[in-house]
Amino acid sequence: MPFGMGFRVSDSFDEAPGSSSGTTVIQPDSIAGLTQWYKSDVGVTGTTKVTAWADQSGEGNGLVEFDGGTGADVALNDIGGIDFVQTFNAVVGEGVHLQDVALSAAAQPDGGTQLHFFAVVNQTSGGGQVFFNWTNSVAGTPGLSLLSQPGEAIIRIHHGAGFENVISPTDSWLLSETVIVECEIDLSLGTSDEVKLTINDFEQTTSAVTATTFNTPGDGFVLGAQDENADNTDSTASAEIIVYNGKVLTSGERAGILNYLSDKYSITLGA
From first to last of its 271 residues, the chain has per-residue pLDDT tens of 222 333 444 444 434 334 334 469 999 999 999 999 999 999 999 999 999 999 999 999 999 998 777 777 889 999 889 999 988 876 666 677 888 888 898 998 877 889 999 999 887 655 555 578 887 555 555 678 776 555 555 787 877 667 777 776 654 555 467 889 899 999 888 777 788 888 889 888 787 788 888 776 667 888 877 666 655 666 778 999 999 999 999 999 999 999 999 999 999 998 6
Say what the pLDDT of residue 7 is.
Answer: 40
Helix (H, G, I), strand (E, B) or coil at 254: helix
C-alpha Rg value of the chain to the nearest Å: 17
Helix (H, G, I), strand (E, B) or coil at 194: helix
Global pTM reads 0.86
Q: What is the distance between the alpha carbons of residues 147 and 166, in angstroms, rounded to a whole number?
A: 11
Q: What is the distance between the alpha carbons of residues 265 and 263, in angstroms, rounded to a whole number?
A: 6
Say what the pLDDT of residue 227 is.
Answer: 63
Sequence-distant (≥ 6) Cβ neighbours of residue 45 within 8 angstroms: 51, 52, 53, 54
Query: 74: burial class by Cβ within 10 Å (0-12, 13-18, 19+)?
Result: buried
Say what the pLDDT of residue 61 is.
Answer: 96
Query: 11: burial class by Cβ within 10 Å (0-12, 13-18, 19+)?
Result: buried
Say what the pLDDT of residue 2 is.
Answer: 29
Check if the beta carbon of residue 251 is closer than 8 Å to that of residue 13: yes
Q: What is the distance between the alpha carbons of residues 161 and 141, in angstroms, rounded to a whole number?
A: 9
Our CA dihedral for 255, 257, 258, 264, rounded to 10 degrees, sits at 140
Say what the pLDDT of residue 258 is.
Answer: 97
Buried b (16+ CB within 10 A) or exposed e, 192-217: eebbbbbbbbeebebeebebebbbbb
Structure letter (DSSP) for residue 139:
T
Check if the beta carbon of residue 227 is closer than 8 Å to that of residue 140: yes
Say what the pLDDT of residue 170 is.
Answer: 53
Sequence-distant (≥ 6) Cβ neighbours of residue 30 within 8 angstroms: none
Check if the beta carbon of residue 187 is closer than 8 Å to that of residue 245: no
Q: What is the distance between the alpha carbons of residues 261 and 94, in angstroms, rounded to a whole number?
A: 33
